[in-house]
Amino acid sequence: MAKIFCVANQKGGVGKTTTAVNLAAGLAKIGQRVLLVDLDPQGNATMGAGINKATLTATVYQVLLGMADAKSAIKLSETGKFDVLPANRELAGAEVEMVELENREKRLKNALAAVEADYDFMLIDCPPALSMLTLNGLCAAHGVIIPMQCEYYALEGLSDLVNTIKIVHAKLNPDLKIIGLLRVMFDPRVTLSQQVSAQLEQHFGDKVFKVIIPRNVRLAEAPSYGMPGVIFDPASKGAQAYIAFGGEMVERVKSM
Ligand code: ATP
Ligand code: MG
C-alpha cells in the first residue's frame, strides 16, 4: 500500500511545489511508483510535471466532487516518469461546492483509496492556505513534509501549521504525523539562515531532514520546460539535493 505524504505550508512561495515535483521525480528515478496529487488551483505541480493544465477534461476537482474517479483523471508525466492527478483553476470552486457534501474533509482520502495499491508513494502538493483543500490533503496522508526557508518569519507561521496538524491528528486522522521539516532555498552565506537552521535543529531534533536544499537557479528554470529539476539538470546542486532527499525519505518510510 502506498505511503501518502502532504507537502504543506500555508506560507506562499516557500518551495512546496518544487519539493513535491522533484521528490516525485527523484523517487521515480530509484524505481518507486509515484502519484503526484496537485491540490492547488494554481496547477503549478501539473505544469511542472509537463502536463498542460488548460486542456484537461478531468482533474482532481471532478474527483473531489464525485464526478470522475481518480483513475480516469490520472495522467502520466512523461518527463518525470510518475503519475499525476492534475489540477487547474476549476479547483478553486471546490472549496465552496464541498461545503454541502457529507464527510467533506475526507473526499480526497476516499477517492485515493481506489488507486492506493498501484503506488509506493503518493505526494500531495497543497495550496498556500489552511483551507478545506489542505484539510483534505491532511486527512488523506500518513505524514506531512514541511518545506521552509530559514528566515525569521518562517518560524512564526510554523506554529499555526503545527497546531493544525495536531488538531487534525486528534480529531480526523490519527495516522497523521510530521515526517519532517525540509530546509529549502538555503543560502549558507546568510548568517540568519544559519541561525534559524540551528534553531530548527535544536527545537525539532531529528524531525529536521538531514538533506538541505540549496538555492539553485536550475530548479527555478526547470518548470518552464515542463520538467522536474532533477530531470532538467541532474548534475545541478539543487537536483542532487532532491535526489538525496528521495533517498532520505525512503529510509524514513522504512521505520514508519
Ligand atoms: P505556492 O505557495 O504559490 O504554491 P510554493 O510553496 O509551491 O508556492 P514554489 O512554487 O515551489 O513554492 O517555489 C516558489 C518560487 O521559488 C518558484 O519560482 C520556484 O521556482 C522557486 N524555487 C523553489 N525552490 C527553489 C530553490 N531551491 N532554488 C531556487 N529557486 C527555488
Ligand atoms: Mg505551490
Q: 30 pLDDT exceeds 90?
A: yes
Instruction: Let me know: does 86 contact 60? Beta carbons within 8 Å.
Output: yes
126 alpha carbon to ligand 2 midpoint, in Å?
7
Number of Cβ within 10 Å of residue 100's Cβ equals: 7
Atom of ligand 1 nearest to the CA of 18: 11
What pLDDT is recorded for position 254?
87
What pLDDT is recorded for position 58?
97
Q: Which is nearest to 22 in space by CA: 70, 91, 86, 81?
A: 81
Name the percent of the chain in helix, strand, coil, to the closest 5: 50, 15, 35
User: 213: phi > 0 → left, psi -120 to 50 → alpha, else beta; which?
Assistant: beta
User: Which ligand has the shortest distance to the CA of 12?
Assistant: 1
Q: 118 pLDDT exceeds 90?
A: yes
Instruction: Let me know: does 30 contact 250? Beta carbons within 8 Å.
Output: yes
In terms of C-beta density within 10 A (0-12 exposed, 13-18 middle, 19 or more buried), how is residue 194 classed? Answer: middle
Beta strand extents in 53-137 (DSSP E only): 75-77, 82-85, 121-125
Q: What is the DSSP string of 37-54?
A: EE--TT-HHHHHTT--GG
CATH (residue range 3-254): 3.40.50.300
Report domain extents, the chain: 3-254
* DSSP code of residue 186: B
For ligand 1, residues with CB inside 6 Å are 12-18, 40, 42, 44, 128, 184-185, 213, 215-217, 219-220, 238
What digits encode the pLDDT tens for the residues 212-244? 999 999 999 999 999 999 999 999 999 999 999
66 alpha carbon to ligand 1 midpoint, in Å?
31
Instruction: Using CA atoms of 240, 244, 245, 251 in order, give the dihedral in degrees to the nearest 10.
Output: 170
What digits encode the pLDDT tens for the residues 195-215? 999 999 999 999 999 999 999
Q: 156 pLDDT exceeds 90?
A: no
- Nearest residue by C-alpha to atom 2 in ligand 1: 12
Q: 255 pLDDT exceeds 90?
A: no
Instruction: Name the pTM for this structure.
Output: 0.98
Sign (positive/negative) of CA torsion 94, 95, 99, 102? Answer: positive
45 alpha carbon to ligand 2 midpoint, in Å?
7
- Rounded to the nearest integer, the mean pLDDT of the chain is 96
